[in-house]
Amino acid sequence: MKHLCREGAEIAVKVTPKASRNRVVQDEEGAIRVYVTCVPEKGKATAAARTLLAKAMGVPKSRLSLIRGKTARDKVFRLE
């Protein structure tokens, strides 16, 4: 995931809430899936996905901002 760490990069992810464990997976095509154990209410799953993605990329979570997908499973984050 470190190859995505460039200023202004937009990272599209698919979030799966209520998963059995927290993890970030990138498939052969480069699509990123974030599995979180949180429930999708009041932004909990989005916050958990942001934290996991930042950890996987090796950047502080404060550098990731949500651009699209506040209430959707498909989200786009921007690296600031």
Q: What angle do CA 63, 16, 69 make, to 5 degrees?
A: 50
How confident is the model over 38-56, as a mean pLDDT?
A: 94
Strand order in the sheet with 23-26: 23-26, 32-35, 10-16, 74-79, 64-68
pLDDT tens track for 22-32: 999 998 888 99
pTM for the model stands at 0.90
